[in-house]
Amino acid sequence: MAKKIIYSAIQPSGIMTLGNFIGAVNNWRSIQENPDNQCLFALADLHTITVRQDPEQFRKNAMSFFALLMAMGIDKDKSILYFQSHVHEHSELAWLLNCYTYVGEMSRMTQFKDKSAKHSDNINMGLMDYPVLMAADILLYGTNVVPVGVDQLQHLEIARDIAVRVNNIYGDIFNVPEGMVNKVGAKIMSLQDPTAKMSKSDPTPNAVVSVLDDPAVILKKFKKAVTDSDTNIIYDPENKPGISNLLTILAVCTGKSIEDVVAECDGLRYGDLKIRVADAVIEMIRPFRAKYDALMADEAYLLEVAREGRDKAAELARPYLEKFKRAIGYVLI
Residue 228 has pLDDT above 90, yes or no: no
In this structure, what DSSP letter does residue 76 have? T
* In a shared domain, residues 218 and 274: yes
Residue 154 has pLDDT above 90, yes or no: no
* In a shared domain, residues 118 and 237: no
Of 115, 221, 240, 312, the active-site residue reads: 115
Please give the average per-residue pLDDT across 276-304, as a whole number: 95
Answer yes or no: is 117 within a domain.
Answer: yes
Answer yes or no: is 137 within a domain.
Answer: yes
Residue 262 has pLDDT above 80, yes or no: yes
Q: Higher pLDDT residue, 199 or 317? A: 317
* In a shared domain, residues 33 and 146: yes
So what's the pLDDT on residue 187?
A: 82
Answer yes or no: is 280 within a domain.
Answer: yes
Strand partners, 218: none
So what's the pLDDT on residue 223?
A: 96
* In a shared domain, residues 72 and 168: yes
Please give the average per-residue pLDDT across 30-52, as a whole number: 94
141 vs 313: CA distance, rounded Å: 8
* In a shared domain, residues 304 and 236: no
Residue 197: active-site member: yes
Range of the domain at 227: 205-293
Which of 158, 321, 167 lies closest to 146 in space, CA to CA? Answer: 158
Q: Report percent pLDDT > 90 for the chain.
A: 74
* In a shared domain, residues 29 and 126: yes
Residue 307 has pLDDT above 90, yes or no: yes
* In a shared domain, residues 121 and 160: yes
Answer yes or no: is 104 within a domain.
Answer: yes
- 81: helix, coil or strand? strand
* In a shared domain, residues 215 and 172: no
What contacts 281, CB < 8 A, 6 or more positions away?
Answer: 18, 209, 218, 222, 249, 253
CA distances from 294 to 68, 71, 95, 300 (A): 11, 9, 39, 12
Please give the average per-residue pLDDT across 45-63, as a whole number: 93
Residue 118: active-site member: no
Of 76, 187, 197, 291, the active-site residue reads: 197
Confidence of residue 320 (pLDDT cuts 50, 70, 90): very high
74 vs 68: CA distance, rounded Å: 9
163 vs 268: CA distance, rounded Å: 51
What contacts 248, CB < 8 A, 6 or more positions away?
Answer: 184, 185, 188, 235, 258
Lowest mean pLDDT among 122-131, 187-196, 204-213: 122-131
Q: In this structure, are strands 79-83 and 37-43 parallel, antiparallel, or unpaired? A: parallel
Confidence of residue 127 (pLDDT cuts 50, 70, 90): confident
* In a shared domain, residues 314 and 272: no
So what's the pLDDT on residue 119?
A: 67
CA 83 to chain centre: 14
Answer yes or no: is 200 within a domain.
Answer: no
Residue 19 has pLDDT above 70, yes or no: yes
Confidence of residue 104 (pLDDT cuts 50, 70, 90): confident
Of 4, 76, 187, 200, the active-site residue reads: 200
* In a shared domain, residues 79 and 19: yes
So what's the pLDDT on residue 184?
A: 64
Residue 158 has pLDDT above 70, yes or no: yes
Residue 118 has pLDDT above 90, yes or no: no
Strand partners, 41: 8, 81
Three-point CA angle 32, 35, 38, nearest 5°: 60
Residue 325: active-site member: no
So what's the pLDDT on residue 62?
A: 96
Q: What is the CATH number of the domain that holds 259?
A: 1.10.240.10
Which of 311, 31, 5, 29 lies closest to 140 in space, CA to CA? Answer: 5
* In a shared domain, residues 165 and 309: yes
Answer yes or no: is 196 within a domain.
Answer: no
CA distances from 200 to 11, 61, 204, 277, 305 (A): 10, 12, 10, 20, 26
The answer to whether the CB of 153 falls within 8 A of the CB of 181 is yes
Residue 276 has pLDDT above 90, yes or no: yes
Answer yes or no: is 190 within a domain.
Answer: no
Residue 98 has pLDDT above 70, yes or no: yes
Q: What is the CATH number of the domain that holds 93?
A: 3.40.50.620
Answer yes or no: is 193 within a domain.
Answer: no
* In a shared domain, residues 212 and 99: no
How many domains does one find in the chain? 2
